[in-house]
Chains A and B, each alone.
Chain A
Amino acid sequence: MLSRVADSIYWLGRYVERAENYARFIDVNLNLLLDLPPGLNEQWEPLVTVTGDKDWYTSKYNNFSRDNVVFFMTFDEENPNSIISSISRARENARIIRENLARESWEKLNELYYIVKNAKKKKVWLKNDPRVFFEQIKYGIQLIYGIADNSVSRTEGWYFSQIGQFLERADKTSRILDVKYHILLPSLEEVGSTLDFLHWAALLKSVGGFNTYRRFYGGIEPAGVLEFLALDQYFPRSILFCLRQAEKGLHCVSGSQESGYSNVAEKKLGALRSELEFADVNDVMDFGLHEFMDSIQIKINNISDEIHNRFFKITDNFTGIQSLQE
């Protein structure tokens, strides 16, 4: 497979997953809102904080109102990570490598692009309940995954897209957990209160894991949710699960054994995976929830760079310039 094509497939996987997760981020809050006791303000600032784009946000917007934040995260084309930007970049990559995609995959992604464009025109973020729109995004992307799952051959291209998708998801689940760190409770006494419970439940609902969690962990409590979303071996959005999938993909692409490593990317990914594999909730808490998630995000970035160096890097014959996506 051409390096450039592999590069595009990888980033196609990442951008699609990013768009879905942004829809989920916003869903956390919209879910919370429904149950919020009177007198408490909506908290939109944490969402911006966990995306890592806060400095940029504050230079452009003067408050953290719901309209502003939802617009920033969804429709702001100057924000390279907004849903509209992610979908456009996914589509751009798909367009570049269309000859490698199933026809339906391309068509569904293309449709999604027009759905987002039209929603922007209709200013859906000003609607009272924009959740219908975010559901449309989530299901639209699930459909794309479903089509791929049943039509793409399990060869190199599939694994590059899996690596992209799962690294992105690991990163975003760590950020969803981080939301909880940043959402403030009105007072310390509220820890363990109904409100606290609502926060954790909203996290679970946003990743579609509320019922699964209940079945396997029972009561909603911080340690349980943390374990479920970060360290669970079976839940497909937990960080550990995602890292394992990505690692599996990487080994398939390199044609190497599943143990050990044959390149730097595999080495770093394997190290991160085992770090989580052998950690328990207390280790995470001791390290600090926010700090732990932060270090995971940094390591994922490094892994992504190494994948680039190993598989995608080509230098322009004339300018010596390498193209890089992020």
Chain B
Amino acid sequence: MDFNLPNDPGIYDEMFDQAGKCRPHYQKFKDKINEISRKRLKQLQHSTGKSQLAMGMTFNVYHDKQGLEKILHLDVVPRIINATDWKKLEIGLQQRIEAINLFIQDIYNDRKILKDKVVPSDLILSSKDYLEPCVGFTPPKGIWCHITGTDLVRDKDGEFYVLEDNLRCPSGVSYLLENREIIKRVFPDLFYQLGVRPVSDYPGKLLSMLKYLSGKAKPVVAVLTPGVFNSAYFEHSYLAQQMGVELVTGPDLIVENNRLYMHTTQGLRQVDVLYRRIDDLFLDPLNFNPDSLLGTPGFFDAYKAGHLAFANAPGTGVADDKAVYAYVPDMIRYYLNQEPLLSNVPTYLCSRQKDLEYVLEHLSELVVKETNAAGGYGMLIGPRSTKELQNEFYNKIKKNPRNYIAQPTLSLSTVPTLDGNCIEGRHVDLRPYVLYGEKIEVLPGALTRVALVKDSLVVNSSQGGGSKDTWVLYS
């Protein structure tokens, strides 16, 4: 089967250069695809969907009676990243996470960066994600953001830009791992020929990292899920299974004498480390949100007493704010005395008067985001929006400037994607996963989300996005 070549010079295609020539690290793959008939490739795509369904890799509102179980479409055409590009990304991410971690430690303790006015105090201290109970606290080993799933895109120059840091409970890693298993069966010979780095040791690394947080020789680790109705439940149970640890829900747990226990058939058993997939504010109704029915009363007391470690640490979310994001390059300079290796997307903070004015005047050119929304909601994509919507945002921003940031529209890179009878470029983003334990490690692979609709820039699964297996090459 042949490829439709990209023809928009304003967009970076990861497989073909401007002249329509295949980039070297894609060449073997291209030869392979050219050998396969269109019919065969469509069959492969079809069986990919079927194996996802059989594995139960489903997400979204789980309501059995109406059969609302969806799979995240997995495109058979992988995304390939060469070793040079990956190396740059890897050290850039390590630098970024190190700085962010220092930042969180600082704002809950000495607040030096605030006193030095590098980051405005009220931006941090007024945030609803700034958790008062964490003030003066240092988590085990001084690590706050143990698991990060940074979102990046490539602009027309091919450079990577960080879009969001996702420091809370980034999801998607199970799709990355399962996608790989499926695509391995589709192109078994290519993995060896191309030299694709494996990702399957992620659960093992995750477990070692979690164990490292405890002082005990044989700590008990568990994954905390909001429950089976959560859209990411598949992932929670998948990770627990792969790590060989218990998957627990709020009612399974109880805090006694500042220690956390789970109810087992043989009585109570202590839990030392909790990989929690519940938001900060729902964790502990005694200390945070009194209305929460998801967590367990007293969690935080056990945590502060040093009998329990959390990943990620409560309080980390404050650095995940899209307005705080704008200051990450400054954090890197401030704490590490280095220049940032990865670029931020230039960001206008509507809380700054000058930026606000600029944003309000240029709504039709900018992407406007709520500082605290996720999943592609609460967004205005200026160039593709109606006058009405722009007016709506105009009013919303004026009313509450702190809630909004704006960025120039990036021209997300494209990767060839199977769509019906053709293989054609579709826009993608990239979410690599970073673990912070004894050292900061970037998993050599990533979740690539792809906008399946031609020319669309929205890659979110809730809005018509799919995914691709992402191959990072040894060389």
Whether B251 and A4, one on each chain, are in contact in the complex, defined by CB atoms closer than 8 angstroms, is yes
Q: CB distance B263 to A98 under 8 Å?
A: no
- Residues of B contacting A134 in the complex (Cβ-Cβ under 8 angstroms): none
Q: Is the interface of B mostly helix, strand, loop or mixed?
A: mixed
Please determine whether B251 and A98 come into contact, CB atoms closer than 8 angstroms: no
Residues of A within 8 A of B437 (CB): none
B binding-site residues for A, Cβ under 8 Å: 53-56, 64-65, 67, 228, 233-234, 237-238, 240-241, 246-254, 262-266, 285, 293, 296-297
A317 and B251 form a contact (CB under 8 A): yes
Closest B residue, CB atoms, query A7? B265
Which interface residue of A88, A96, A311 has the most chain B CB atoms within 10 A? Answer: A96
Contact partner, B250, options A1, A117, A317, Cβ 8 Å: A317
For the complex, is A184 an interface residue (Cβ under 8 Å from B)? no
- Given A4-B251, A96-B228, A98-B237: A107 in contact with B54 (beta carbons within 8 A): yes
Q: Taking the complex as formed, is A110 at the interface, i.e. its CB lies under 8 A from any CB of chain B?
A: yes
Residues from chain B with a CB closer than 8 A to the CB of A106 are: 56
- A59 at interface (Cβ–Cβ under 8 A)? no
Q: Could you say which of B238, B251, B252, B254 has the most chain A C-beta atoms within 10 Å of its C-beta? A: B251
Of all chain B residues, which has the CB nearest A114?
B53
Q: List residues of chain B with CB within 8 A of the CB of A316.
A: 250-251, 293
Contact across chains for A2 and B246 when beta carbons are under 8 A apart: yes
Q: Is the CB of A2 within 8 A of B293?
A: no
Chain B neighbourhood of A317, CB < 8 A: 250-251, 253-254, 296-297
Partner of B241, one of A6, A77, A88, A98: A98
Which of B56, B262, B296 is packed against the most chain A CB atoms within 10 Å? B56
Is residue A35 within 8 Å, beta carbon to beta carbon, of the partner chain? no
Given contacts A107-B55, A316-B251, A319-B293, contact A4 B263 (CB under 8 A): yes
The reply to whether A1 and B265 contact each other, CB–CB distance below 8 Å, is yes
Closest CB-CB distance, A155 to chain B, in whole Å? 11
Identify 20 residue pairs between A and B in the complex whose beta-carbon atoms are under 8 Å apart, listed by A's number. A1-B266, A2-B264, A92-B64, A95-B233, A96-B228, A96-B237, A99-B237, A103-B55, A107-B55, A110-B55, A110-B56, A111-B54, A160-B265, A253-B265, A311-B265, A317-B250, A317-B253, A318-B285, A318-B293, A319-B293
Number of residue pairs across A and B with beta carbons under 8 Å?
A: 79
Q: Does A3 contact B (CB under 8 A)?
A: yes
Chain A residues positioned under 8 Å from B254 (CB to CB): 317
Interface size class of A (residues with CB under 8 A): 20 to 34
Given A117-B67, A317-B296, A319-B293, are A98 and B56 also a contact pair (CB < 8 Å)?
Answer: yes
Question: Which chain B residues lie closer than 8 Å to A28 at the CB level?
Answer: none
Contact at A99–B233, with CB atoms within 8 Å?
no
B65 to chain A, nearest CB (A): 7
How distant is A2 from chain B, measured CB to nearest CB, in Å?
6
A294 touches B (CB below 8 Å): no
A314 within 8 A of B: yes
- Whether A2 lies near B263 (C-beta < 8 A) is yes
A2 cross-chain contacts in B, Cβ below 8 A = 246, 248, 252, 262-265
- Residue of chain B at shortest CB distance from A93: B228
Q: Which 7 A-B pairs have the closest CB atoms?
A: A99-B241, A99-B240, A98-B237, A3-B263, A311-B265, A314-B263, A99-B237
Q: Give the docked Cα–Cα distance between A244 and B116 (Å).
A: 75
Of A6, A99, A117, A311, chain B has the most CB atoms within 10 Å of the CB of A99
**A311 to chain B: closest CB distance in Å?**
5
> Does B246 lie within 8 Å of A5, measured CB to CB?
yes
Residues of chain A within 8 A of B265, CB atoms compared = 1-3, 6, 156, 160, 253, 311-312
Expressed in whole angstroms, the Cα–Cα distance for A275 and B237 within the complex equals 43
Inside 8 A of A319's CB, which chain B residues have their CB?
Answer: 293
Please measure, in the bound complex, the distance between the C-alpha atom of A59 and the C-alpha atom of B296, giving whole angstroms.
44
Q: A88-B64, A92-B228, A99-B240 are known contacts; what are 20 more A-B pairs with Cβ within 8 Å?
A: A1-B264, A2-B252, A3-B265, A4-B251, A4-B252, A6-B265, A97-B237, A99-B246, A100-B241, A103-B55, A107-B54, A110-B54, A110-B55, A114-B53, A160-B265, A314-B263, A317-B250, A317-B251, A317-B253, A317-B297
Complex Cα–Cα for A161 and B32 (A): 47
Q: How far is the CA of A166 from the CA of B53 in the complex (A)?
A: 30
A319 to B, closest residue via Cβ = B293
CA distance A111 to B234 in the complex (A): 17
